[in-house]
Structure 1
């Protein structure tokens, strides 16, 4: 930073604090959260909510990553200049429009600070210097990573005058520096010094890993997050040092906590390191476009086998498919995922089948589908599963045993043709065997544009849920009616795992 303005409010109480999970807050030690936490969280919420049509926005000032060091472990930024299409789309959802309560042309930043305190005047104390970008980052330090916030500054002298007023209003203790178009805010003077020293050695914006992963997701959107390759090891080290002991105590206070108690710190650290040994970094970004929101993610977990059968299989479902989950999982996916949890034994008790046997039964890829929902004919539910590469005889034997155990013989049918096997209620299984042409519909292509490359697909056509939701959950019927389709695809590109999620609004 070219200019430094340290600031504290030593007389003020801690007004903004780190949120704690469960328990009586009065009995727990609390750490003061640096000034700007509310600003970042609030701006993040308003990024998808605030109207930007009546304010002059500019991309000037670059990225908040300029204010963080290249060693930053985790980072998330919000950029309101990229959210111009968010509000018109969200306003098509009646309950969200009502919840937002923003008037046309209202500055979302003013809504954020309007009720901060009686002595704070947004037009006088905040508006002259605050920009439209903010970020939070975790920076490595001697004992444990430290948090910092960055706010875009359009006038440094006004920011130097406004930050103490904001601190006094919040009653929080913090330290900050202003320079190069950013206010960098930390919890203590020592934390700020650690971060500034690291920044002098290079910024996150210039870091090769940050550039690679944010570039792999198409650049920054209105929300962007980044995880450095060193993050898993930092989390494992924190686990070894007992950072999650308190979390386990909260699990114990929760009546559901006993279901999944945390392992001892050393075992947890080893699990984290083993699961992420090939992790090379990750990023995701959220973009708003006309009538749609899109999340794109990229990460590296080492070389993976390329596969695209799941997306292709999902595309062969009937055109009136309402929902589908399709996957072409890696070998041992269920056995590995359930290892050590006890869930494998529960699965064996329920189905009489070990996880490895169920993996084999499902074949190379599968698609669980729900067809058109007709409430006038509740006895003819279109629900089934389409399997590619499964042994149809084994599937039929399993289904017969399962339905007999539930007294449901004759309700579920098993059909096969070549390498494809289908299981469905009534005649729906036969319908699943054919190529139903879902991949050729505009809805599916718009929601899942990468289906042909995908090893995992989720698709929901909300148009097919209107009648059901109106009957069962009328309070959200208007919102469901306004939604179009939800699509998600996961696919492999060399050693890079990619994912794309889209939700459209009619």
Structure 2
């Protein structure tokens, strides 16, 4: 591994962006940099000199009755501080654009100056906030639906005055109690005092489920969250259907999640959002997606393992949810409250004659395409569905002139399922592409079928490859051969190839900046008791 240069106390000053060029904030890497930099708000630039990262966390001062919790820690562990600084060094332009000039700068001032400037508030950061604001904040909701905020403070008297002044800016009242260097803020003084009393007896950190999830998840990084799904559903019954609808599943699957936790963390070369939840029936039935066997020159891939068995259930759930959502919308009293009785009758008649019918739409789709729903979807996803893009000829991507030109690229789809059903579906899909000038290659295998832009790509995906041994792949896909479904993008290689097409100067400059991102990976996995999740961004050294 290349040795990282030592951390200095001044960020390099970037050159001015070229006239007429795009702002760094407009780039994906700029967005990532902003997240990393803001995560260090609150003097974390200075605390690198005293890498302690100790002291109570918000979970130590909020009561064990909290059922949903989130925290931001701008004074995390020493390893996290060093790692975050390494990432910041990769984005000096983004740091400069949001106002960060040196490592000793208090980034909290940047944030609060903007907040106070936008509000009708006669307060200043230096006078009214800085004297008491600490480095950690947590928010929670308890089983009685009481919202609580835990703010780390350095001076209780100044904090009480400052917090109340900030709330007063929005014509709101803050009730405050203190515990172990934190201000516990609630809607009423009774709630704040009760929260402190309960936390003294048993804090959230001592909740067995919370403690186990935190331990299983590992390094908590700069931000984390936790939720007891079952208790949240009980406390907020109105969210029950909404949660199931948002997840495109039935409420049983939501309830099986149990408790869930997530964190944002880094090791200096990658930034990760990691999470875990209870193991649901659907995830438990999934088979691993064999992404590691893809060709080694794969630059982008998408894979689902064992999703085919769920298609029928998900399809039925979709139809039910569509009907439920539509009926909920048309029965909204506000729609007809100003109508006359005659208008209401006309409206009801119109709905009867014109109400959307998803099954009729699907039947028309089947007639026009020759595909069968949901049967062909079950075949498509089967035991595994994988789409892979190879490196070959990516440099020609900006100059492709028509649909037929994609034959020069290596793009392939692999179905792992009944070989005869898979080949039949591949043949019909290829036939649908012919009228638009795309001739697709198909190949039957012992485990399914492949459809690709050319026969070489089909052969490559039908053979065992070595992507799983590639360091770029493993840096963002932590579950290896246990990945249930995932997305992999080799950003650096794609940009290197596109750069060969001699892009315009401004595009070339954007590409050079974006090369700070090496690869991106999204993956889901499972262990004995958990569904696990990881979103990783790897950075170039």
TM-score w.r.t. structure 1 length?
0.76
Give distance in 2, aligned partners of 1:95 and 1:187. Answer: 42
Aligned to 1:316: 293
Q: 1:90 to 1:392 in 2, by over 3 A?
A: farther
Cα deviation, 1:373-417, whole Å, max 9, x if unaligned, reads: 5242642122111233x2333233223323334434871111234
- 1:330-369 equivalence runs, <5 A: 330=307, 332-342=309-319, 345=359, 349=365, 352-369=371-388
Q: 1:88 to 1:114 in 2, by over 3 A?
A: farther
Is the Cα–Cα contact under 8 Å of residues 221 and 285 in structure 1 kept in the other structure? Answer: yes
Q: Which moved more, 1:42-51 or 1:372-381?
A: 42-51
Aligned to 2:337: none
Question: Structure 2: which 5+ residue stretches go unaligned?
Answer: 1-33, 323-357
Is the Cα–Cα contact under 8 Å of residues 69 and 227 in structure 2 kept in the other structure? Answer: yes
Larger proportion of helix: 2
How big is the shift at 1:191? 4.2
TM-score w.r.t. structure 2 length?
0.71
Give distance in 2, aligned partners of 1:66 and 1:180. Answer: 9
How big is the shift at 1:181? 1.1
How big is the shift at 1:86? 2.7
Give distance in 2, aligned partners of 1:225 and 1:471. Answer: 42
Q: Which moved more, 1:482-491 or 1:416-425?
A: 416-425
Give the aligned CA root-mean-square deviation in angstroms: 3.5
Aligned to 1:281: 259
How big is the shift at 1:317? 1.4
Question: Is 1:129 equivalent to 2:135 in the alignment?
Answer: no
How big is the shift at 1:224? 0.6
Aligned to 1:258: none
Aligned to 2:469: 440
Give distance in 2, aligned partners of 1:49 and 1:386. Answer: 46
Aligned to 2:527: 493
Question: Is 1:59 equivalent to 2:53 in the alignment?
Answer: yes
Aligned to 2:452: 424
Give distance in 1, aligned partners of 2:112 and 2:151. Answer: 14
Is the Cα–Cα contact under 8 Å of residues 492 and 498 in structure 1 kept in the other structure? Answer: yes
How big is the shift at 1:488? 2.3
How big is the shift at 1:102? 1.3
Give distance in 2, aligned partners of 1:185 and 1:398. Answer: 59
Give distance in 1, aligned partners of 2:94 and 2:446. Answer: 48
Aligned to 2:39: 47
How big is the shift at 1:213? 0.9
Is the Cα–Cα contact under 8 Å of residues 68 and 232 in structure 2 kept in the other structure? Answer: no
Q: 1:49 to 1:127 in 2, by over 3 A?
A: closer
Give distance in 2, aligned partners of 1:164 and 1:151. Answer: 13
Cα deviation, 1:409-453, whole Å, max 9, x if unaligned, reads: 871111234325321111211121122211111111212132111
How big is the shift at 1:361? 4.1
Cα deviation, 1:2-25, whole Å, max 9, x if unaligned, reads: xxxxxxxxxxxxxxxxxxxxxxxx
Aligned to 2:62: 68
How big is the shift at 1:272? 6.2
Aligned to 1:465: 494
- 1:35-434 equivalence runs, <5 A: 46-47=38-39, 52-55=44-47, 56=50, 58-82=52-76, 83-84=80-81, 85-93=83-91, 96-104=94-102, 105-115=104-114, 116=116, 119-141=122-144, 145-168=145-168, 171-189=171-189, 191-193=191-193, 195-196=195-196, 198-199=198-199, 201-234=201-234, 237-239=237-239, 273-302=251-280, 305=284, 309-310=288-289, 313-330=290-307, 332-342=309-319, 345=359, 349=365, 352-372=371-391, 374-376=394-396, 378=400, 379=405, 380-388=408-416, 390-408=417-435, 411-427=439-455, 428-434=457-463
SS of equivalent residue, structure 1 residue 309: coil
Q: 1:425 to 1:49 in 2, by over 3 A?
A: farther
Give distance in 2, aligned partners of 1:49 and 1:435. Answer: 47
Give distance in 2, aligned partners of 1:54 and 1:188. Answer: 36
Give distance in 2, aligned partners of 1:430 and 1:235. Answer: 54
